[in-house]
Every structure is written in C-alpha cells, then in structure tokens.
Chain A
Amino acid sequence: MPVQLWVSVVELGCFAGLIALGFFLVLRGADVFMFALGPLAMFGAMFGAFQVSRNGWPLPIAALIGVAIAVALSGLTELLIVRPIHRRTGGQENPSIVAIVAILFALEQLAGTLFGRTPLPGTPFWSAQFRWGEAVISGQSIVLVAVTVLAFAGVALWLRRSANGRMLRAVGDNEHAARTLGVPVDRIRLIAFCLAGLLAGVAGSLFAAKAGVSFTSGLQWTLVGFLAVIVGGLGNVWAPLVGAVLVATLQTWSVFEFGHAMRDYLTFAVAFLFFAFRPKGIFQTKVRI
C-alpha cells in the first residue's frame, strides 16, 4: 500500500476514533448505543460548510456554532426523547433504539432539506502542506491527530480523576445502584450525551475538510464508529481508538485492493466475525467480584 494511503488511514482512524469515543461515553454512562452520533457530526459539519461556502461566514465562527449545534441536539435527544422513553418503559432497550434510529433518519433528512442534497466542500483550518518522503501531509491532518490525542487523553483523565467521570462509570455499571447511592444519574447521563455530541461535532467539522460532507455521510460515519467500538471493545478508554485504527486500515486497504463495494462487504464481515467470536471486542471490561 503506498505511503500516502497510510496518511489516509491515520486520518480516518482518528476521525472514527473520535466518533467511537462518543459511543463509548454514552455506552458507559447511559448504556445506550447512540446511533445518531454520525448524523450529529454530519449535521454540525454541514452547518459549518454551508455557512462558509454559501454565506461567507468566517470558518472558526461557523465551525464553533456547528459544534455547539451538535452538542445541543445531543443533549436534547437525551432530555426530550431518550430519557422520557427510558423512564416510561422502565429501561427496556427497544423503544430507545427505535427512537434513536428515528432521530438518525430525521437528522439526515433535516440536513438534506436545510443545507441541500449536494455534497458541500469542507474548509481546512490549516491549509499548509508538508512533504515527508513520498507522502504529503496536510496541516489539517496534523490538527485532526492532535485533537484526537488531546480528546482521548482528556477523557481518560476526566474518567479517572474527576468526580463526574467516576460517577459516569458508576451509572453505566449499575444505574439502579448508583441512584440508590445518591449519584445524580440524570445529570451524569446528560453530561455523557453532551460530551458525545461535542466529540462528534468536532470530529465532523475536522473531517469534512478531507472529502466534503453530504447529508448521507451521517449513516456511514455512524457505522464506521460502531465498528470501531465492536472491534476495540469497552475495556479501556483507548480501546475505541485501537479499534478505529484497525478498521481504518482494513477499509483503506480493501478499497485500494478491490474497490469500494468490497469495503462494505468486509465491514459487515468483520462486524459479524467479532460478534460471533469475540463479541466484547479486543479490550474487555474485567470485573472483580
């Protein structure tokens, strides 16, 4: 595989890792697979790209508002939809899944209606180009890598050191027990959703510069993040990143060797094999009893 493709692997890996970290946080904190994170990232990115390309807004402002919208939508999803349904059904998972899938489709179509159904170009934050051997590395990829490392390190520290982070793990492990112990479960769940929205928003606006963004990107992004979580597992904060890099390598390689269709077949095959043989991913949570 040419060196340049490895740069793509790193970019895609970092992006999928950020989305997967969002999944990880909501899974640990609220025990919900927030399938709508991909469309949230897409929605924020499309907002930014639309304002920059059509209305000439300065990039930082457009991107910032795009990210803020992703955070707000994620929080509202929990407050208005998931939490009431979760309460009413006593924690059954099916109604929550259906609601989240409905939000996924709604966000996709809403973005298509508001920002148009043609792909929009993303704008890089740092448009410098560096040559490194045969490969060309853009400033934007350096930003993406730096943000990813910072985000993972930040979340790892936050989960270990801060009171909220530790409570998040407690709520995810046993919501009922956490509530009995006086942990503010509602607040913790809301924090998990908002943080996930933040990660998705940032990831989307950074990645849009690479290949542009269209209203159908959301589902693809969700699926690649989902796969990263499946491969990586939930045992460690860094597990989603490991999973994401593996998935990115596989996807880039399969496109290079066999073309786009094979990527989707292989993606499904990998998910299927992991489900069948290692359903909890590479890094598994170990519980001492």
Chain B
Amino acid sequence: MTTRTTPVAARGTSPLARHRWAVEAVAAAVFALALVAYGSGASFRQDYVVLICTYSLLALGMYIPYIMSGSLSLAYNAYLGIGAYACGLISTRAGWSSLWGVPIGIVLSAAIAVVLGLATRRLTGFYLAGVTLLFAVAFQVFLLDRVSLTGGPVGMPVRRPHAFGYTFTRYDIMIGAVVLVWIVGLLLSRLRQSPFGVVVRLRKDVPQVVESSGISSGTIGVVSLAVGAAIGSVGGSLFGMMGGVAQPESFGLHIIFLAIFMPLLGGQRSPWGAVIGAVLVVVFTFELHILSDAGTLFFAIAILLVLRFAPLGLLGLGTPLLRLLTRLRMGRTPGGEGS
C-alpha cells in the first residue's frame, strides 16, 4: 500500500479506491479467450457463443437504467428487434453493408427510449413499466402485421456484413461479439465507479440528493434509458448478422423477461453480474434441454426466489464470503489492512 499515490490513499478504504481495473480486465479477457476457444470447434458452438454475447449485451443494456438508475423499461424485445431489423433492411433494401444497421439501430432505439422516458418522467416506475410493456406488445404486432416492411412471420434475411471488400465470416462475427461484450462490460464497470456513475446510482436511492446538487434526476433517468436501449440494440444487430435472418419470434415477450432476470440473477454489484446471468441462462436453456415454454416458468420461479432470498444475486452471495476471506487474511498478516 505504500506504493499508492496520495489521492488514492486519502480516499482510504472506500470501495472506489479498492477497485482493481487490471485484474478485472485480465480476468474478463481470460474468460473471453475461453469462450473463443470453445467457439473454435463445431459450427453450432459459434451460434452458442454469439447467443451468450447477445444475451450479455441485453443484460448489460438493462444494467445502467435498471440496476444503476432504478428505472425499469420493459421494451427490450423491441430494442433488440430494431437492431436486427435495421441490419436486415439496410442490407436487403439499400444493398449496403449490414454493419450500417448497427448505428441506425442504436440511434432509433435510443430515440424511442428517450420519448417513452420523457412521457413518464414525472410518474412512478409502474407507469414506465406499463407504457414500455404496451410498446413491446405493439412492436411485436407491428413485426407480424407490416409484411411489406418486415416480411411478416417469416422475417427477413440479414446479409453477411462486409467492409472494405472483405466479407466477415461467422467466426469473425463471433470474435467481434466476444470483444464487444468485453469492452462494453469494462466500460460499464468503469462508468459505475466514475462520478457520473455515482450520480446515476444515487438517483435510484436518494433522488433528492441528486436534485439538490443541481442535477436533474429526470434527465439522468432518460439518458440512462437511452444508453441501455442502444446497448440492447447492438446485441440485436449481432444476433441478426450471425443468424442471417431477423424473425419476429426471436424478439417475443420472453426477451423482456430474460432482460429483467439476468442482471438480477448474476448480481447487481458489477456489470459482470449481468454477463454471468446471461451465461447461466444460455447454459441452462441449452444444456439442460429446458423447453422455451416451461423454461420461462422455471426462470420466473427462480427470479422470485432470487428476489426473495438472494436480493444481491449470485455475485452478492460471494460478497459475504469475500469479506470473510479478507478478515481471515487480515488476521494472519498484522498491519496489512487495505493491501
């Protein structure tokens, strides 16, 4: 601890000072490499890895608005769908690279999140949940109904993305997906600890403090909803480009349910909890052959158990354990506190 610079030492043992970025980045990178190694095998494994990444981005998209700033939006199936359909439309109609769909999806879904957030800005969270749920239902109907635009129930193809004359393979997309989750996870983790992140988190528990510091808590809420929607949309684009198709059934209401479930399951103290939740959901769905219908029942009961008995999620269960370990270590090396 003697090597620490003064400002850090001045912050003492606050959680801000103890965060180890290098450790987090390396640990996540090791995990990412393991995923890539797994995905280098049979072709279906690449789909599997991309699905994990899509769900991770979905859960990470929930992290800022829901876990940090405390506003629950239920329109995530629409944000994912917008990302995927934007890639499909731009590649089949305009003939451009489907990569262009990514920024278009980001802007579109963020704009929708802003409008929905502004409309319910002065109301309690129940109303935001309600209006976003109505939007989610309307979006699903829209995908099925506007056959000329969306292709109806069969959906529409998404061409393989290309840039500078190079067409990306499925393997490339998988690597891109893993790297993307790694970057977004690290960025969110940094954001959580940054002054802005602290304000966002304060808004959830004590909005009065945020307001009295001259920061509009409503604006913070709307901004976080927009960022979350944008991240979700990127996940959708990824899913569409990998599968080569955008279909309504991929963006059904079960997506909403997974979106609120995954960050809670993994743990709220870190964005990586959201990623862990996503990995668990994919593994449980595919390895244990839980059908999607009964799977929702299984996950719904699981979320009630988590909310009731482990409110901090699985990472939260680790915290008391970690504290115990630290205490034991501190007992063994006298004077080593905070090292």
Which A residues contact B (CB, under 8 angstroms)? 32-33, 35, 80-81, 84-85, 88-89, 92-95, 97-99, 101-103, 105-106, 108-110, 112-113, 117, 219, 223, 226-227, 230, 260-261, 264-265, 267-268, 271-272, 275-276, 279
Quick check: is B296 within 8 A (CB to CB) of the other chain?
yes
Please determine whether B141 and A98 come into contact, CB atoms closer than 8 angstroms: no
A104 to chain B, nearest CB (A): 8
Please determine whether A105 and B257 come into contact, CB atoms closer than 8 angstroms: yes
Quick check: is B23 within 8 A (CB to CB) of the other chain?
no
- The verdict on A275 contacting B123 (CB below 8 Å), with A99-B307, A102-B304, A109-B294 known, is yes
Segment of B24-32, B124-132, B318-326 in the binding face: B124-132
Residues of the A chain whose Cβ atoms lie less than 8 Å from the Cβ of B124 = 93
12 more CB-based (< 8 A) A-B contacts, given A106-B297, A265-B141: A33-B130, A80-B308, A81-B304, A94-B72, A98-B72, A102-B261, A105-B296, A109-B293, A110-B297, A219-B137, A223-B137, A227-B134
Residues of the B chain whose Cβ atoms lie less than 8 Å from the Cβ of A227 = 134
Quick check: is B211 within 8 A (CB to CB) of the other chain?
no
Please determine whether A275 and B307 come into contact, CB atoms closer than 8 angstroms: no
- Expressed in whole angstroms, the Cα–Cα distance for A105 and B294 within the complex equals 11
- Expressed in whole angstroms, the Cα–Cα distance for A97 and B150 within the complex equals 32
Quick check: is B70 within 8 A (CB to CB) of the other chain?
yes
Residues of the B chain whose Cβ atoms lie less than 8 Å from the Cβ of A33 = 126-127, 129-130
Nearest 7 A/B pairs, CB to CB: A106-B300, A109-B297, A261-B145, A33-B126, A268-B138, A264-B141, A275-B119
- Expressed in whole angstroms, the Cα–Cα distance for A94 and B120 within the complex equals 15
Residues of the B chain whose Cβ atoms lie less than 8 Å from the Cβ of A35 = 129-130, 133
Tell me how many residues of B have a C-beta within 8 Å of chain A.
44
- Expressed in whole angstroms, the Cα–Cα distance for A117 and B293 within the complex equals 10
- Give the secondary structure class of B's interface: helix
A139 to chain B, nearest CB (A): 33
Residues of the A chain whose Cβ atoms lie less than 8 Å from the Cβ of B262 = none
- Expressed in whole angstroms, the Cα–Cα distance for A33 and B124 within the complex equals 10
Quick check: is B188 within 8 A (CB to CB) of the other chain?
no
Please determine whether A279 and B123 come into contact, CB atoms closer than 8 angstroms: yes
Residues of the A chain whose Cβ atoms lie less than 8 Å from the Cβ of B129 = 33, 35, 97, 101
Residues of the B chain whose Cβ atoms lie less than 8 Å from the Cβ of A230 = 127, 130
Quick check: is B253 within 8 A (CB to CB) of the other chain?
yes
The contact string, 1 if C-beta is below 8 Å from chain A, for chain B 191-223, is: 000000000000010000000000000000000
Residues of the A chain whose Cβ atoms lie less than 8 Å from the Cβ of B144 = 261
B249 to chain A, nearest CB (A): 14
Please determine whether B307 and A102 come into contact, CB atoms closer than 8 angstroms: yes
- Expressed in whole angstroms, the Cα–Cα distance for A212 and B127 within the complex equals 29
Within 8 A of A (CB), among B287-339: 293-294, 296-297, 300-301, 303-304, 307-308, 311
- Expressed in whole angstroms, the Cα–Cα distance for A227 and B122 within the complex equals 18
Please determine whether B131 and A272 come into contact, CB atoms closer than 8 angstroms: yes
Cross-chain contact of B142 among A94, A261, A267 (Cβ < 8 A): A261
Which of A93, A101, A223 has most chain B Cβ within 10 Å?
Answer: A101
Please determine whether A271 and B131 come into contact, CB atoms closer than 8 angstroms: yes
Quick check: is B264 within 8 A (CB to CB) of the other chain?
yes
Please determine whether A272 and B119 come into contact, CB atoms closer than 8 angstroms: yes
- The verdict on A93 contacting B126 (CB below 8 Å), with A81-B304, A275-B119 known, is yes
- Expressed in whole angstroms, the Cα–Cα distance for A102 and B254 within the complex equals 11
Quick check: is B272 within 8 A (CB to CB) of the other chain?
no
Please determine whether B308 and A101 come into contact, CB atoms closer than 8 angstroms: no
- The verdict on A265 contacting B138 (CB below 8 Å), with A84-B308, A94-B70, A98-B260 known, is yes
Shortest Cβ distance from A32 into B: residue: B126
Please determine whether B137 and A98 come into contact, CB atoms closer than 8 angstroms: no
Q: Pick 22 A–B contacts, CB within 8 A, sort by A.
A: A32-B126, A33-B127, A85-B308, A93-B125, A93-B126, A94-B70, A94-B204, A97-B129, A98-B307, A101-B129, A101-B257, A102-B304, A105-B297, A106-B300, A106-B304, A109-B293, A109-B294, A110-B297, A223-B134, A265-B142, A267-B137, A268-B131
B295 to chain A, nearest CB (A): 9
Quick check: is B76 within 8 A (CB to CB) of the other chain?
no
Please determine whether B125 and A94 come into contact, CB atoms closer than 8 angstroms: yes
Residues of the A chain whose Cβ atoms lie less than 8 Å from the Cβ of B142 = 261, 265
Residues of the B chain whose Cβ atoms lie less than 8 Å from the Cβ of A103 = 300, 304
- Expressed in whole angstroms, the Cα–Cα distance for A25 and B72 within the complex equals 23
Cross-chain contact of A275 among B72, B127, B138, B145 (Cβ < 8 A): B127
Residues of the B chain whose Cβ atoms lie less than 8 Å from the Cβ of A117 = 293
Quick check: is B74 within 8 A (CB to CB) of the other chain?
yes
Please determine whether B297 and A97 come into contact, CB atoms closer than 8 angstroms: no
B307 to chain A, nearest CB (A): 5
Quick check: is B66 within 8 A (CB to CB) of the other chain?
yes
Please determine whether A101 and B260 come into contact, CB atoms closer than 8 angstroms: yes
Shortest Cβ distance from A276 into B: residue: B119
Residues of the A chain whose Cβ atoms lie less than 8 Å from the Cβ of B138 = 264-265, 267-268
